[in-house]
Chain A
Amino acid sequence: MISAFAHLLERLAFSPQRNAKRAHLAGYFRARPDPERGLALAALTGDLDLRAVTASLLKGLVAERVDAELFALSYDFVGDLAETIALIWPGEGTAREVALADLVAELQETRKADLPARIAARLDQMDPSERYAYLKLATGGLRVGVSARLARQAVADLSGLDLAEIEEIWHGLSPPYSELFAWAEGGAKPVSAARAPFRPVMLATLMDREGLRALAPGEFLAEWKWDGIRVQAVAESGTCRLYSRTGDDISAAFPDVIAAMEFEGAVDGELLVRRGAEVAPFNDLQTRLGRKAVSRKLLDSHPAALRLYDVLIWNGKDQRARPLAERRAVLERFVELLDPNRVDISPLLPFEDWDALAALRADPPEAVIEGVMIKHRASPYLGGRIKGHWFKWKRDPMLVDAVLLYAQRGHGKRSGYYSDFTFGMWDGDQLVPVGKAYFGFTDAELRDLDRFVRNNTVERFGPVRAVAPTRVVEVAFEGLNRSTRHKSGVAMRFPRISRLRDDKPAAEADHLSALLALLPDG
């Protein structure tokens, strides 16, 4: 029933703790029959294939009922399209129950031309909470704070299955997952239909100088932390696939890498754009991402390559239980046999003690290095973020003090508050915008900033408010690139407001020259 699914989404939305969400999910899976629970699972993991109900279709439906400007103002405040429509849609609903499966089938089968009228009729039947669930389902982006992994974990919880076992066969299963639920409730394990499946990726926990003191340097290996994207390359029985660390198949965008996967196994590494020995900045990689097809020209100008650091499966043998030092030896042997332009190995860093590693970290040889990885020599390859095996020790963020110039209401978690800020730095006696940040602050700081914006607005441009340039904030960021799209000539990476500097008057904020001095090439 859509009402049960709506109720689940509500509980998930308001359970901040992961364990509570997990319990709500398991409770739902236990209580609801097939195929409803399987369709709900598919919706949560992003595997429900519905005809794309677009935002513009929905906006069109609302426009027939609500003034466009009133809707825009409401959307701006609520921050979520489905929620705005659910709340603003006229009427209270008719309290008639509808099966989730019927709604899914209707969305899949209705002719495109008839879809708007069908959706409107459904919205008329439902109450606001059901409308929300239905629209989330129809648009395909649930975003209710549940990862695909957590949803699968809750299935595993039904009878204490191991999550890793489900993840291994997941890519061979399809909605409504009846065989999976049967297995999770004590039945037989489904036979894996997937070729070259994705395996859960091992993740590192954060480390700092202080924490390293407790660790013996001799027990660890260290490598650079590359600023590319983490991938798993799988070549099994003639099928080659490239997966993102969350298991999305990104093979189509990287035919050059796929062609170079002349091995039998599954390996873990970083995807980079590399021209000979020189690794290109992350920007270059970004132009290759998210494409369904790639032009010859782009393949030549932005060649992609793998830089490997681990092996999971080798010639049909699972390596994951072996210690890292042994897996590394396997990897070193087989990388030798591959095209060095496309595949190489992430070198180990020589260090005697943590001071020596700190010195390397402070002065990396390339700009695309964002810190160091520290891995226990004996660590098995474990899916997930398991403490005590792998650590990332990131480069310290860069910091500047800037002045708030503009604000806009946020979306998602921060919706309703002025939380998207444009900040500026001094250039002579002018403040020049240098970037935007919409996180980094605490909830209490957010309410403070929101109040500041509302009480210090000097001008409005649609949803954007210019504020009196009096509030100084410390901005932390991970790197800097030249940019022609920004007035200041530079673009920050991952900028965030790390501190409110209410101790500083605006005149004492930093100058643009201080920022330009941080550019990698001076």
Chain B
Amino acid sequence: MKRTETPLIPRPEGLYCPEGDFHIDPVRPVARALITHGHADHARAGHGAVLATRQTLDIMALRYGADFAGAWQVAEGVTVIGGVRAQFHPAGHVLGSAQIALHTRGGRITVTGDYTRSPNPACAPWEPVPCDILVTEATFALPVFRHPDPTTEIARLLASLKAFPERAHLVGAYALGKAQRVIMLLREAGYDAPIYIHGALQKLCDYHIAEGVALGDLRPATVARGKKGDFAGAIVLAPPSAFAATWAQRFPDPVICFASGWMMVRARARQRGVELPLVISDHVDWPQLTQTITELDPAETWVTHGREEAILRWCALEGRAARPLRLVGYEDEPE
């Protein structure tokens, strides 16, 4: 690898590539942005021009309206920006999510965005992209995070439904990705009753269906006043923010469930008043993260956001070069 200059620089507005004069997942409006996926903290409105996968562009338009950016382009094959060759590869995280591979004068760089190596039927699986510099997320980068098989978590939800048939099961799940993941896992487990969804999930569920992701019978979780009994024994999905609102009070003695990788840690579940924590993650856990670094064997590993101290330590123990980028503005739990 020839290193004439630093190919990527962390800046307050996001990760900047001087050679191509663009940012990746910037948190403030910039002239040119490459965007890995549609989560609100990675994909923001107001950029001059956006390069992303077709599905990520669609999701941004759904979220922010058709004028979410000055101009946009679908990432297909190799795009040359300045002197930099950029190519998008699947990340397995959510529908449309991608890793971005850059060929710069400073070497081959893979920016993972958010990613997981666990199978996710909503999108193409993560694939290894060889590189000199791996720029990875570290959301769950602590050795305590070994996420279980999500089918066992769904089995616990179905068991609870059986044990408390008079109670509604309210499942907190983020609108993009996690909600559809939970629905698909339920369908795979043979649950074919209607699933009720909060209004905030409607657009993105419709979009998944339009993209060929089968979700079965979905119905709006609207209820007429005084008809609490309607949702007894039903599964209702809502974004976690809905639980703080009076919205949740309309259901009969609800079992509050939350689908998130954080649910491994008891205090996290208790802080949210969760009665049934479901450990379902769309990020790499510790074994997957360390496996990825080992397999790609990059000359350097850079860490974007999350719990960077632990993975830096692991790299040091393994004799691998690594550095934190300390990017700010990314949420642990995007809504």
Chain B: CB-nearest residue to A77: B142
Task: Knowing A13-B270, A73-B309, say if A455 contacts B328 (CB, 8 Å).
Answer: yes
Contact: A16 with B143, CB < 8 Å?
A: no
Contact: B313 with A69, CB < 8 Å?
A: yes
Chain B: CB-nearest residue to A415: B267
Contact: B273 with A74, CB < 8 Å?
A: no
CB-CB contacts of B132-144 with A at 8 A, as 1s and 0s? 0000000000111
Q: Assess whether B329 is interfacial by the CB under 8 Å rule.
A: yes
Which segment, of B85-93, B186-194, B274-282, faces chain A?
Answer: B274-282
CB-CB contacts of B242-272 with A at 8 A, as 1s and 0s? 0010000000000000000010111111111
Give the distance in Å from the alpha carbon of A16 to the alpha carbon of B254 in the complex: 13
Q: Assess whether B210 is interfacial by the CB under 8 Å rule.
A: no
Chain A: CB-nearest residue to B241: A444
List chain B residues, Cβ under 8 A from A78: 144, 265, 267
Give the distance in Å from the alpha carbon of A451 to the alpha carbon of B274 in the complex: 21
Q: Assess whether A80 is interfacial by the CB under 8 Å rule.
A: yes
Contact: B265 with A454, CB < 8 Å?
A: no
Contact: B144 with A77, CB < 8 Å?
A: yes
List chain A residues, Cβ under 8 A from B276: 14
Contact: B313 with A67, CB < 8 Å?
A: yes
Task: Knowing A67-B317, A87-B146, say if A413 contacts B310 (CB, 8 Å).
Answer: no
List chain B residues, Cβ under 8 A from A416: 262, 265, 267-268, 271
Q: Assess whether B208 is interfacial by the CB under 8 Å rule.
A: no
List chain B residues, Cβ under 8 A from A413: 267, 270-271
Contact: B313 with A73, CB < 8 Å?
A: yes
B-binding residues in A (CB < 8 A): 13-16, 66-67, 69-71, 73-74, 77-80, 83-84, 87-88, 145, 412-417, 443-444, 446, 451, 454-455
Give the distance in Å from the alpha carbon of A83 to the alpha carbon of B267 in the complex: 10
| Closest chain A CB from B14 CB (angstroms) | 13
Chain A: CB-nearest residue to B266: A13
Contact: B275 with A16, CB < 8 Å?
A: yes
Closest 4 CB pairs of A and B: A87-B144, A415-B267, A455-B328, A73-B310
Contact: A80 with B143, CB < 8 Å?
A: no
Give the distance in Å from the alpha carbon of A446 to the alpha carbon of B271 in the complex: 10
| Closest chain B CB from A297 CB (angstroms) | 43
List chain A residues, Cβ under 8 A from B244: 444
Contact: B146 with A70, CB < 8 Å?
A: no
Chain A: CB-nearest residue to B142: A74
List chain B residues, Cβ under 8 A from A415: 265, 267-268
Interface of A, secondary structure class, is: helix
Q: Assess whether B307 is interfacial by the CB under 8 Å rule.
A: yes
Q: Please tell me which one of the listed residues B144, B266, B270 contacts residue A74 in the complex, with CB atoms under 8 A apart.
A: B144
Task: Knowing A14-B276, A70-B314, A446-B271, say if A88 contacts B144 (CB, 8 Å).
Answer: yes
Contact: B267 with A79, CB < 8 Å?
A: yes
| Closest chain B CB from A290 CB (angstroms) | 27
A-binding residues in B (CB < 8 A): 142-146, 244, 262, 264-277, 307, 309-310, 313-314, 317, 328-329, 331
Give the distance in Å from the alpha carbon of A83 to the alpha carbon of B264 in the complex: 10
Task: Knowing A14-B274, A14-B275, say if A74 contacts B267 (CB, 8 Å).
Answer: no
A sample of 18 more A-B contacts (CB under 8 A), given A13-B270, A66-B143, A73-B309, is A13-B269, A14-B269, A14-B270, A14-B276, A70-B310, A70-B314, A71-B143, A74-B144, A74-B310, A77-B142, A77-B265, A77-B307, A79-B267, A80-B266, A87-B145, A145-B270, A413-B271, A416-B265
Chain B: CB-nearest residue to A463: B309
Task: Knowing A14-B276, A16-B273, say if A451 contacts B143 (CB, 8 Å).
Answer: no
| Closest chain B CB from A39 CB (angstroms) | 22
Contact: B310 with A414, CB < 8 Å?
A: no
Contact: B329 with A455, CB < 8 Å?
A: yes
Give the distance in Å from the alpha carbon of A83 to the alpha carbon of B268 in the complex: 12
Chain B: CB-nearest residue to A444: B244
Contact: B144 with A443, CB < 8 Å?
A: no
Give the distance in Å from the alpha carbon of A417 to the alpha carbon of B268 in the complex: 9
Can you list 11 A-B contacts with CB-CB less than 8 angstroms, sorted by A residue number? A13-B266, A14-B269, A70-B143, A70-B314, A73-B307, A73-B309, A77-B142, A77-B307, A84-B144, A87-B265, A415-B268
Chain B: CB-nearest residue to A456: B328
| Closest chain B CB from A136 CB (angstroms) | 11
List chain B residues, Cβ under 8 A from A74: 142-144, 310
Q: Please tell me which one of the listed residues A73, A84, A417 contacts residue B271 in the complex, with CB atoms under 8 A apart.
A: A417
List chain A residues, Cβ under 8 A from B313: 67, 69-70, 73
Contact: B265 with A15, CB < 8 Å?
A: no
Give the distance in Å from the alpha carbon of A412 to the alpha carbon of B262 in the complex: 15
Give the distance in Å from the alpha carbon of A241 to the alpha carbon of B274 in the complex: 42
Contact: A15 with B144, CB < 8 Å?
A: no
Give the distance in Å from the alpha carbon of A145 to the alpha carbon of B314 in the complex: 35
List chain B residues, Cβ under 8 A from A13: 266, 269-270
Give the distance in Å from the alpha carbon of A15 to the alpha carbon of B272 in the complex: 12
